[in-house]
């Protein structure tokens, strides 16, 4: 294994493999910056080119190198403009964009990029060391447990995304209701489509996220009539402070990276879910939870590392068992077959050097793109001081390009406007938006697991010990903030405390 590990490293750095990786990184860099296009769509476009590449390692240098960096550069637009460059970067808006408003864009960018490198490295190393031991973890949870995890995810983020527990849980419930729109996958019946063929395929996450998060911030920018940053421009500082934050909160970064790895291993969940769970975990550890969503650097570090570590987690079931951890891994599985490799024992035996080459691609690609980002951070962060009237047309163009390119449908623009209006009123009246998005993402997944569980076990699965434990954890997560808050009020209201 040591020989294959070293061999994979040198084969990645050899020419032309390294050249293919640089080309993939360049494409992924710009794709990550452009909202809506996404690494998945670009991977699908680039996949046919793997036919003409001679060796498997060269092919994966190109494809995986491109995919590995989209999460990092997608973080940049989330922090600077409040527009997610990637669906897996949406959680960074919550604290990253407020930091830009406070003139701390440099610190937020430094924290996001450095935590991304750490997360990607942990994800890659997890792929390297955990293949022999991951099989029991992958098989530990069946459909009943995964259904409870989806519900737990919505309630978890619902309790942490705002000051009102009821509003958070209701917003998550609205997301679950929106996820029911479309064709029922089990019975084939049509639900809540109102005669529109567009809604048969359910609501696409990209126009919903872009509308819900980006448009309210653009409206706010227009109303304020200032730049994104609300403080006067001075010499840009804070980039190295953000890098230091990554190591000040290293154990938080480590834990959130492992969350990303595990959600990458679990089928279907991936980075879109991992980022919100990691954000919830990061916010839960704040000394003052009221600072969540107001520019807490922990809210940048958590999802920043998680959405990159999932790449390594995604590859574990893909390479070891031929089970794609996400849609992008399904395309990479196709690339494996195109270049003549089969997942499973072959990838862990005679082609072990290719598997370890993937580890090195994830690490090297993220180090290169981080270095590139640090070179241009001053220019990027300076955009937050540009007058809003100059930025708004460009931001609106990004919003509508991002929404349209998701499915090349004009209806996506309508969805963006509707959810933009909804997002504006949610901000106006203090309703949290993350639970709604997570409910929309997890609704379809949870419904499938519920059907499978019921078909296989009837109602007996509710009595499984693992299910009961997960339900109890969910109840504790929901009840703990309320109990803690009431205890604090009771203590303050005691006469001796008042004196």
Residue 211 lies in a domain: yes
Least confident segment among 60-74, 112-126, 307-321, 333-347: 333-347
Strands 190-191 and 182-183: antiparallel
Q: Which residues have C-beta within 8 Å of that of residue 6, sequence separation ≥ 6? A: none
Least confident segment among 159-173, 183-197, 366-380: 159-173
What average pLDDT does the chain have? 75
Check residue 365 and give its pLDDT.
Answer: 84
Are 107 and 238 in contact by the 8 Å Cβ rule? The answer is yes
Q: Which residues have C-beta within 8 Å of that of residue 174, sequence separation ≥ 6? A: 436, 439
Q: Which of 24-38, 200-214, 239-253, 323-337 has the highest mean pLDDT?
A: 239-253
pLDDT at 499 over 50: no
pLDDT at 98 over 80: yes
Mean pLDDT of 108-133: 80
Check residue 322 and give its pLDDT.
Answer: 59
Share above pLDDT 70 across residues of the chain, in percent, rounded to a whole number: 73
Check residue 139 and give its pLDDT.
Answer: 56
Check residue 242 and give its pLDDT.
Answer: 79
Kindly list the distances between the CA atom of residue 345 and the CA atoms of 171, 355, 410, 459, in Å, as whole numbers in the listed order: 45, 11, 46, 37
3-class secondary-structure state, position 190: strand
pLDDT at 65 over 60: yes
Check residue 151 and give its pLDDT.
Answer: 79
Check residue 478 and give its pLDDT.
Answer: 73
Check residue 492 and give its pLDDT.
Answer: 46
Kindly list the distances between the CA atom of residue 149 and the CA atoms of 142, 160, 228, 332, 395, in Å, as whole numbers in the listed order: 11, 17, 37, 26, 36
Residue 492 lies in a domain: no
Residue 479 lies in a domain: no
Please, which pLDDT band fits residue 349 given cuts at 50, 70 and 90?
low
Check residue 345 and give its pLDDT.
Answer: 59
Residue 471 lies in a domain: no
Check residue 228 and give its pLDDT.
Answer: 59
Mean pLDDT of 342-354: 69
Which neighbouring-strand residues pair with 227?
A: 387
3-class secondary-structure state, position 188: coil
For the chain, what is the domain count?
1
In which domain, by residue range, is 202 found?
Answer: 2-226+237-463
Residue 34: burial class (beta carbons within 10 Å; 0-12, 13-18, 19+): buried
**Among 27, 60, 123, which Cα is nearest to 357's?**
60
Check residue 137 and give its pLDDT.
Answer: 56
Residue 262 lies in a domain: yes
3-class secondary-structure state, position 161: coil
Check residue 411 and give its pLDDT.
Answer: 86
Mean pLDDT of 444-473: 84
Residue 336 lies in a domain: yes
As given in the structure block, the two tokens for residue 422 are 């909804």
Residue 36 lies in a domain: yes
Q: Which H/E stretch holds residue 183? A: strand 182-183
Check residue 490 and give its pLDDT.
Answer: 56
Residue 488 lies in a domain: no
Mean pLDDT of 115-135: 75
Instruction: Specify the pTM.
Output: 0.64
Please, which pLDDT band fits residue 204 given cuts at 50, 70 and 90?
confident
More confident residue, 140 or 129: 129
């Amino acid at each position: 294994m040591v020989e294959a590990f070293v061999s994979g490293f040198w084969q990645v750095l050899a020419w032309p493999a390294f050249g293919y990786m640089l080309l993939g990184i360049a494409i992924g860099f710009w794709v990550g910056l452009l909202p809506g296009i996404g690494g998945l769509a670009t991977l699908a476009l680039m996949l046919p080119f793997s036919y003409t590449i001679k060796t498997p390692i060269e092919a994966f240098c190109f494809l995986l190198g491109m995919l590995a960096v989209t999460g990092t550069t997608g973080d940049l637009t989330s922090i600077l403009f409040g527009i997610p460059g990637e669906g897996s970067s949406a959680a960074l808006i919550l604290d990253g964009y407020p930091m830009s408003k406070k003139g701390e864009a440099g610190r937020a960018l430094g924290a996001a990029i450095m935590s991304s490198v750490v997360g990607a490295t942990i994800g890659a190393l997890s792929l390297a060391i955990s293949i022999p031991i991951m099989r029991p973890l992958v098989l530990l949870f069946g459909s009943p447990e995964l259904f409870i995890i989806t519900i737990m995810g919505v309630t978890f983020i619902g309790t942490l995304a705002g000051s009102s527990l009821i509003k958070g849980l209701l917003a998550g419930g609205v997301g679950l209701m929106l996820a029911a729109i479309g064709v029922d996958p089990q019975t084939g019946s049509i639900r809540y489509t109102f005669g529109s063929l567009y809604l048969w395929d359910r609501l696409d996450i990209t126009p919903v996220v872009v509308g819900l998060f980006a448009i309210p911030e653009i409206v706010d920018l227009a109303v304020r009539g200032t730049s994104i940053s609300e403080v006067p421009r001075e010499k840009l500082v804070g980039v190295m402070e953000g890098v230091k934050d990554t190591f000040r909160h290293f154990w938080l970064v480590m834990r959130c990276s492992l969350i990303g790895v595990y959600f990458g291993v679990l089928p279907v969940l991936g980075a879109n879910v991992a980022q919100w769970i990691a954000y919830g975990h990061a916010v839960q550890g704040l000394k003052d939870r009221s600072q969540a969503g107001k520019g807490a650097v922990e809210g940048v570090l958590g999802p920043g590392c998680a959405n990159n570590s999932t790449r390594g987690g995604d590859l574990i079931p893909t390479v070891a068992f031929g089970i794609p951890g996400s849609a992008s891994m399904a395309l990479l599985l196709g690339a494996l077959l195109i270049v003549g490799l089969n997942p499973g024992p072959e990838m862990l035996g005679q082609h072990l050097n290719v598997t370890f080459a993937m580890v090195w691609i994830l690490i090297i690609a993220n180090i290169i793109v981080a270095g590139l980002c640090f070179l241009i951070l001053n220019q990027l962060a300076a955009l937050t001081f540009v007058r809003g009237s100059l930025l708004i047309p460009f931001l609106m163009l990004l919003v509508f390009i991002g929404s349209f390119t998701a499915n090349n449908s004009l209806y996506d623009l309508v969805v963006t406007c509707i959810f933009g209006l909804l997002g504006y009123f949610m901000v106006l009246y203090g309703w949290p938006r993350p639970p709604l998005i997570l409910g929309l993402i997890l609704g379809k997944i949870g419904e499938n697991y519920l059907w499978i569980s019921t078909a296989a076990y009837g109602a007996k699965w509710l009595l499984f010990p693992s299910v009961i434990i997960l339900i109890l954890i969910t109840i504790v997560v929901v009840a703990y903030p309320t109990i803690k808050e009431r205890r604090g009020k009771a203590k303050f209201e005691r006469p001796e405390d008042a004196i």
